[in-house]
Amino acid sequence: MNKWTFHILQDSDDDRFCSIKHDPDTVTQSWRLHEGLPMGTHFPPAAKYRMDKRAGNIAPDFLPNSLSYLMISPKVRTLLEKAEVGGVEYLPFVLQDIRGKIISRDYCVANPLGGVDCLDAERSKFEMSAMEPDQIFALYKLNLRIDKIPTDIKLFRLKQMLTTYIIRSDLLELLRTEGITGFTTLDLDADIIL
C-alpha cells in the first residue's frame, strides 16, 4: 500500500514565464510524445524550440507549453535522476528566444513511458473520447486507485489520459525544497477542467 499522496502536475500560469507553442519540423512523429512512446531518432538532439512571442521571456525549470510535454531544465533532470525516477526518456533540445538566439542547450523533454491504469472511475468525473474510446476527452474530477500504483513509481502518466502527469508527494516535496520553478499542482478529488 502506498503511503504517499499524489497530485496532478501542471504548468505554471505565471505570465512572466516563456511558453512553447510548436514542435520544430525536425521532430517527427510527435504524437508519440502524447502517447508515452519512445521517440528515439524521431527526436534529434539539435531540435530547436523557440519561445512564443506572446508570452514572457523568463525560462523557468518547467517550461510552460501548449504541447502537453514535460519540458525541464537540467536542474530538474538531475533531481529526477537522483530521486531514481525510472521509466523516463530524456530528449535534449536547444531553447531559443523569440529572435532565435540560443538561451540553453541543456533543457530536455522528459517523456514518461507508458501509463498507469489506476483511475478510480466511480469517484472521478470525466467524458470519454469519441475518437479514442479508451482515452478521457475531458476531466472534471480525478481520483485514483492508490493500490493500483506501483510503489516504486514517482512520476507517471494516467493510462486513460496520457497527457495528464501524476507526481508522488515525496518527489513533489523535493522539487519544492529545491526551489524548482514553472509548475503547479492540482489536488485529487478537486473540481478541475482538463
So where are the chain's domains?
14-112, 115-187
pLDDT confidence of residue 194: 86
Residues 6+ apart with CB under 8 A from 162: 34, 35, 36, 115, 135
In percent, the amount of the chain with pLDDT more than 70 equals 99
Closest to 54 measured CA to CA, from 67, 68, 66: 66
Q: How far is 176 from 88, CA to CA, in rounded Å?
A: 20
Q: How far is 49 from 107, CA to CA, in rounded Å?
A: 10
Q: In the predicted model, what is the mean pLDDT of residues 137-149?
A: 95
- The owner of cell 525510472 is 86
114 in Cβ contact with 160 (< 8 Å)? no
The set of cell numbers assigned to 178 is: 529545491
pTM over 0.75: yes
Q: In the predicted model, what is the mean pLDDT of residues 3-32?
A: 95
Q: Tell me: pLDDT of 1 over 70.
A: no
Closest to 134 measured CA to CA, from 149, 152, 121, 150: 121
Q: In the predicted model, what is the mean pLDDT of residues 41-48?
A: 92
117 in Cβ contact with 71 (< 8 Å)? no
Q: Are strands 88-96 and 70-72 parallel, antiparallel or unpaired?
A: unpaired
